[in-house]
Amino acid sequence: MHSSGRGTASLTPLKRPFYERDTLRVARELLGKVLVRRLGATLLEGVIVEVEAYRGYDDPASHAYRGPTRRNQVMFGQPGHAYVYFTYGMHYCLNVTTEPAGQPGAVLIRAAQPVNGIERMKKERRTERIKDLANGPAKLTRAFAVTRALNGHDLTLGTELFMAETANSEPLEIVSTRRIGIRVGLDRPWRFFIKGNPFVSRP
DNA sequence: CTAAAGATGTCCT
DNA sequence: GGACATCTTTAGA
């Protein structure tokens, strides 16, 4: 048995119906799921521990609030696709699209607990501290080598990037707070994280 | 066309 | 707690 741990057999990609629902519900249920990135023979895995919901049609903080543009068009398409955008001149952020096609919505993946491929993540992030590998949306994309090339990628295929079901389904204690780094929509407590998890970006 | 802000991270004090 | 890097997108003249 190789020291990297579990094999790939147990990684079942989440299917379309999971994503084709209300954004808030998808956001909550993504907690505890596994983010999987395949880089050739290397497999990176992390448990999603922090997310934020951006429900396009009634959420002034959403990129999609003012209608479709070239950047946000994937938010209006089929659910279960990656929405990757570039910001602050240097960072990428990863979202998964939600809601039925034509209705915009996305969940920002803000933090993950690394469980496999940790040595590769350390190289990508240029740090040895496991806690700091993916405890923030731009740190996470760096650790998992997610760039604009994956924008629009179908997450149900189980290929380069996908979300996977977890073996254990014990109920999680979820905390909700206002979202981070936005100036509008602060009245909505649409940031969700696993209570007490040390890999969240902020408690 | 020009300008300013941005779903951030890092380093500094 | 604050400055700053760095460039795409979007709003406004």
Q: How far is the CA of A167 from the C1' of C5 (A)?
A: 42
Contact, A87 vs A137, CB < 8 A? no
Beta bridge partners, A154, equal A81
Q: How far is the CA of A20 from the C1' of C9 (A)?
A: 28
**Which residues interact with strand C by a CB < 7 Å criterion?**
A 63, 66, 69-72, 86, 88-90
Q: How far is the CA of A1 from the C1' of B7 (A)?
A: 41
Nucleotide nearest to A109 (CA to C1'): B7
Residue A54: CB less than 7 A from any atom in strand B? yes
Per-residue confidence of chain A (203 residues) as pLDDT tens digits? Answer: 344 445 455 899 999 999 999 999 999 999 999 999 999 999 999 999 999 999 999 999 999 999 999 999 999 999 999 999 999 999 999 999 999 999 999 999 999 999 999 999 999 999 999 999 999 999 999 999 999 999 999 999 999 999 999 877 788 999 999 999 999 999 999 999 999 999 999 99
Nucleotide nearest to A105 (CA to C1'): B7
Residue A106: CB less than 7 A from any atom in strand B? yes
Please give the pLDDT value at position A5.
46
Q: How far is the CA of A60 from the C1' of B12 (A)?
A: 34
Residue nearest to nucleotide B10 (CA to C1'): A139
Q: From CA A104, how far away is CA A123, in angstroms rounded? A: 35
Topology of domain A8-194, CATH: 3-methyladenine DNA Glycosylase; Chain A (3.10.300)
Please give the pLDDT value at position A28.
98
Q: How far is the CA of A174 from the C1' of B6 (A)?
A: 28
Those residues whose C-beta lies under 8 Å from the C-beta of residue A27, and which sit 6 or more positions away, are A51, A52, A53, A98, A107, A190, A192
Please give the pLDDT value at position A167.
79
Q: From CA A144, how far away is CA A35, in angstroms rounded? A: 9
Q: How far is the CA of A105 from the C1' of B7 (A)?
A: 13
pTM score of the predicted model: 0.95
Q: How far is CA A54 from CA A74, A176, A186, in A?
A: 13, 14, 12
Please give the pLDDT value at position A9.
57
Residue A143: CB less than 7 A from any atom in strand B? no
Q: How far is the CA of A79 from the C1' of C3 (A)?
A: 39
Count Cβ atoms below 10 Å from residue A103 Cβ, excluding itself. 17
Contact, A85 vs A94, CB < 8 A? no
